[in-house]
């Protein structure tokens, strides 16, 4: 199978991305709705990166850079396209974006229970940092 086509999302992609995450992503986020993803793409049009194969959405990653840190979210690959280089291609595109922007280190949000994702992240050179815990506070109900 050919390498995936990598591109940034446009506002026209958002409904398809949200539907895709219901099939391909593990867990949900408070921002997994149309308005949340619209804000992301409006604020940083290159942050949501898509992988396509034969015109179909095969994977996503959000590569957010706040000027100081490089954050990776929503690395998701459709079950029919896993173990075929889609995740690696998305991470490479995200890392190249970070380097262009002056980023120095990427960090990823990975669910503790998602063993399949752990393999993917480790294979890409990422590792958990046991000295840190993520502290959160929802800002909306």
What does the domain layout of the chain look like in residue ranges?
Answer: 5-123
Is the per-residue pLDDT at 83 higher than 70?
yes
Which of 2.40.128.50, 3.40.1830.10, 3.30.1490.20, 3.40.630.30 would CATH assign to domain 5-123? 3.40.630.30
For residue 45, the model assigns a pLDDT of 96
**pLDDT single digits (tens) 13-64:** 999 999 999 999 887 777 788 999 999 999 999 999 999 999 999 999 999 9
The confidence score (pLDDT) of residue 115 equals 86
Residue 48 and residue 7 in contact, taking contact as beta carbons nearer than 8 Å: no
pLDDT over 70 at 1, yes or no = no
Ordered DSSP codes for the chain: -PPPEEEE--GGGHHHHHHHHHHH-SS--TT-SHHHHHHHHHH-TTSEEEEEETTEEEEEEEEEE-SS-EEEEEEEE-GGGTTTTHHHHHHHHHHHHHHHHT---EEE---TT-HHHHHHHHHTT----TT-------S--
C-alpha dist (Å) from residue 103 to 47, 48, 112, 135, 140 = 13, 17, 25, 23, 30
- Residue 134: predicted pLDDT: 80
pLDDT value at 109 more than 90? no
Structure pTM? 0.91
By the 8 A CB rule, do 57 and 50 touch?
Answer: yes
pLDDT > 70: percent of the chain = 99
């Amino acid at each position: 199978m050919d390498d995936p086509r990598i591109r940034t999302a446009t506002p026209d992609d958002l409904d398809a991305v949200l539907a895709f995450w219901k099939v391909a992503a593990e867990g949900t986020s408070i921002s997994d709705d149309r308005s949340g993803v619209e804000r992301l793409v409006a604020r940083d049009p290159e942050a949501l990166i898509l992988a396509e194969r034969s015109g179909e959405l095969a994977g996503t990653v959000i590569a957010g850079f706040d000027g100081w840190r490089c954050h990776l979210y929503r690395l998701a690959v459709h079950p029919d396209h896993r173990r075929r280089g889609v995740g690696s291609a998305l991470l490479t595109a995200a890392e190249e974006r970070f380097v262009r922007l002056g980023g120095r280190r990427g960090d990823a949000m990975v669910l503790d229970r998602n063993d399949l994702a752990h393999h993917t992240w480790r294979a890409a050179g990422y590792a958990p940092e046991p000295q840190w815990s993520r502290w959160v506070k929802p800002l909306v109900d």
